[in-house]
Structure 1
């Protein structure tokens, strides 16, 4: 009598020799996943799932998912330039706050995980760099706006620049 085996292809390329279950594959090779049957129900179950978050640096944040105190903070963050840049800056501020909360929670533990603390510090450093980039971008946008507006002060600056260029050219 021939011994039944799983037969699934292993990493080495040979067939798996473990005993199969009812579906013909062993417990390790249970067959191809067909995914969730009801995609909408699956999407609803995953909404708000924070199980995979480690530091939170890459966490997806939208206004709908903000806590009440975060919404208050969002509205308090000053706006000066283009709406999209302002929104990204606000989200970075909230992301920084969440990281700082995780950081302090980790420090309050009896046995803090210093690898996690290190990861959080690295994430904060990267977020800070992104915030600085956005601030530079906002400054550039504000300089472009003042040049485009060319109000009376802008006109005066243009005249002075023109006079200076004529003086240096002659």
Structure 2
């Protein structure tokens, strides 16, 4: 004799009256998922998954996931003193590039999503503000470095001073 109702206990404490599937429960009460059977295959299927991606502002970016175009950009981004600040700045440049690309792609659509465009604009503004902060941080690090080492201009001034001293001596 087959069950004609699901019978699962609902939140209200009563029995579910829906028609059951093959496993004896309705589609809402089919039981807890046991997860993917092949964990490695599942892990591979998630690589590059952009289903939840909206603006990309908080997207995780690592070098091995960059496209060839983004790797070229990564190498071209101008850097100076502190490696960590420069690395973060490079990633922000790539993030800005991706945000701009999504913005342009959305604008090209017949009927662009105005909410998405606004979200992308806000994300670009926040990303730009973070870039400005990193530039300031880089400047302060550069200032500390040039205090210890006068830089090429300071070296030139020192050489000129030494030459003057030599010229004055008979």
Q: TM-score with structure 1 length normalisation?
A: 0.77
Aligned residue number for residue 75 of structure 1: 75
Aligned residue number for residue 36 of structure 2: 36
Aligned residue number for residue 140 of structure 1: 140
Alpha-carbon distance in 2 for matches of 1:12, 1:97: 51
| Distance verdict in 2 for CA 1:95–1:13, change over 3 Å | farther
Aligned residue number for residue 121 of structure 1: 121
Alpha-carbon distance in 2 for matches of 1:4, 1:141: 73
How many residues are aligned here?
152
Aligned residue number for residue 165 of structure 1: none
Alpha-carbon distance in 1 for matches of 2:66, 2:21: 46
Alpha-carbon distance in 2 for matches of 1:89, 1:78: 9
Listed as ranges, the matches of 1:31-70 within 5 Å are 31-70=31-70
Instruction: Kindly state the Cα deviation for residue 9 of structure 1 after the two structures are TM-superposed.
Output: 4.3
Cα deviations by residue, 1:106-130 (Å, 9 ceiling, x for unpaired): 1111111111111111111111122
Question: Which piece of structure 1 moves more, 29-38 or 6-15?
Answer: 6-15
Alpha-carbon distance in 1 for matches of 2:10, 2:142: 59
User: Structure 2 stretches of 5 or more lacking a match?
Assistant: 155-170
Aligned residue number for residue 105 of structure 1: 105
| 1:92 matches 2:97 | no
Instruction: Kindly state the Cα deviation for residue 12 of structure 1 after the two structures are TM-superposed.
Output: 4.0
Between Structure 1 and Structure 2, whose CA radius of gyration is higher? 2
Question: Which piece of structure 1 moves more, 9-18 or 97-106?
Answer: 9-18
Aligned residue number for residue 164 of structure 1: none
User: Structure 1 stretches of 5 or more lacking a match?
Assistant: 154-170
Q: TM-score with structure 2 length normalisation?
A: 0.77
| Distance verdict in 2 for CA 1:103–1:151, change over 3 Å | closer
Instruction: Kindly state the Cα deviation for residue 135 of structure 1 after the two structures are TM-superposed.
Output: 1.7
Question: Which piece of structure 1 moves more, 131-140 or 34-43?
Answer: 131-140
